[in-house]
Amino acid sequence: MTNPTAAMLVIGDEILSGRTRDANMFHLAGELSKRGIDLNEVRIVSDDRDAIIAAVTALSQAYDNVFTSGGIGPTHDDITADCIAAAFGASIDVRDDARAILAEHYAQTGAELNEARLRMARIPDGATLIDNPVSKAPGFTLNNVHVMAGVPSVFQAMVATVLPLITGGQPLLSQTLRVDRGEGEIAAPLSALAEDYADLSIGCYPFQKNGAFGANIVVRGTDGARVESAVAALAHKLGLA
């Protein structure tokens, strides 16, 4: 059986403007690999209603799971929840269970649950809540789309909540072989290896250090013995073993 597939949708003008460096994709990719879920696409869109709806619609139809980050806070530009609802034709309003979570949290902190903060309790009909142990405002899952915050610490906590509830596959394993030669010197044996091990993912990642060129060859797959065999074969081809 093939592994389940996933896509990530990163939402926010601050990412596209270069003001904020996205850390959530890196974290999600690693966690999905451990669960045997293949992250096959990542899109970044601005805080634009039509763009978000179009991306959610396309990705949810193409992949088993979609993970979004950003745009579920209390300010005017946090429009993700409304866009997810629109993408699936669901109504959205303040929901009692989400409101209760926020009310308890702000009562404990002594802060007011004002109209702006109450926006974070607006949940589409039919969605299930995603627990947020960091700042309490919940994310949600609607159909196959998991909607989470953009703040890395909150995003990571929500990922930890969601992933155990999702069917995974075989974890992706990898080994790396460092080669102190330029890509032009190893391209032919690397191509031959890729043909012999077509069931594996084989990537070549060049580097330059102290004026010399080299490459890290990364072999990935779900069969550990097969990955090890490919690395050994390549080392033999290159006279490294």
Domains, the chain, in order of start with CATH, read 5-165 (3.40.980.10), 173-237 (3.30.70.600)
pLDDT confidence of residue 1: 63
3-state secondary structure of 36: coil
Quick one: pLDDT at residue 129?
98
Average pLDDT, the chain: 95
Say if residues 159 and 148 touch (Cβ distance below 8 Å): yes
Q: For residue 61, give the nearest of 134, 2, 7, 119 by alpha carbon.
A: 7
pLDDT of residue 28: 98
Q: Dihedral sign, CA of 87, 88, 91, 94?
A: negative
Low-confidence ranges of the chain (pLDDT < 50): none
Is 183 within 8 Å of 212 (Cβ atoms)?
no
Beta strands in 38-156 (DSSP E): 38-45, 65-69, 92-94, 122-124, 128-130, 139-142, 145-148
Q: Which amino acid is at 161?
A: T
Q: What is the pLDDT of residue 209?
A: 86
Summarize pLDDT for 30-56 with one digit per residue, the tens.
999 999 999 999 999 999 999 999 999
| d(C-alpha 123, C-alpha 156), whole Å | 20
Going by their DSSP bridges, the two strands 65-69 and 145-148 should be labelled as: parallel
Read off the DSSP letter of residue 179.
E
What type of residue is 4?
P
